[in-house]
Amino acid sequence: MLENSKILITGGTGSFGKCFVEMTLKKFNPKNIFIYSRDEMKQWEMSEKYKDDERVKFIIGDVRDRERLSRCLDNIDYVVHAAATKIVPTAEYNPFECVKTNIIGAMNVIDTCIDKKVKRVVALSTDKACNPVNLYGATKLASDKLFIAGSVNSNNVRTKFAVVRYGNVMGSRGSVIPFFLKKKNEGVLPITDSRMTRFMITLNQGVELVWHTFNDMLGGEIYVKKIPSIKVLNIAKVVAPKAKHKIIGIRPGEKLHEQMISSEDAPHTYEYKDYYKILPALNNLSKDQKRIGEGTKVASDFTYSSEKNTDWMEDLVLQEWIEENQTKIEGI
């Protein structure tokens, strides 16, 4: 599907964007990938890697700027929406900046993609959008709802939208692994709560889920990959076995455990081999057999939460991953 196509990725200089560009160029050989982001320094650094690859183009722009976004979507086939304000405490203290990027930015992406007749759009979401307790999660939930409605409520028959929901992306900028790696030489690691658990997904898995979504989507679905959980305390022990731990308490907006599918989502959720799919409740589309395919409906009280997960990442697996990806982990 992505072969010989024109793809635009918002927030393309972030951890996911860099991985998506590298993997997609190798696997699908698209005609062009346009990196749309507002950080000129990150673009300059990334452009050094692709200075001899005419397929990769860089555009300075902000998803808050609808006119700029619209101008850059001419003749684009597929869009990956990865731009976001995502640091939980930052969002709590700067709420409207988060709203402008995560909600108004999402509206701009939806409207301009419809206007420019983009074929398919996949938006990146987060486990924090499920039963949110923080502003970041609330804005991403609103964003998810906007993308779903963009597919099922408009008269548009060309542009289709879907969402992928992730857990903690291992090694990404601002996440727990690079934070602990940066702190380990101090001899003390701050732990918010010894009981805290998180879902863990690699960047490669995240990219592969986006590829699958582009191929499978009919519009309005949320895709949730089956991934392991781990205790944050275990991450600290793997990263710095000799370090002491200082319990500092949960930060503003944090959850003790994360959830990707709630019991309220369960009536519209179907299970597949490697993922779950939440179908849109609007217009009875959660009963659409084409969207269901070979899926099996989950139990009415089903939840997918990090503390009740049946799949747990072993310490040795995490240690091996860190050793193999040391040079790729951002922020250390």
Residue numbers annotated as active site = 128
**Structure tokens that stand for 154 in this block:** 């408009």
Q: How far apart are CA 200 and CA 139, in angstroms?
A: 22
Q: How far apart are CA 43 and CA 165, in angstroms?
A: 26
**Structure tokens that stand for 34 in this block:** 């346009």
Q: Vertex 166, ends 4 and 35: CA angle to 5°?
A: 35
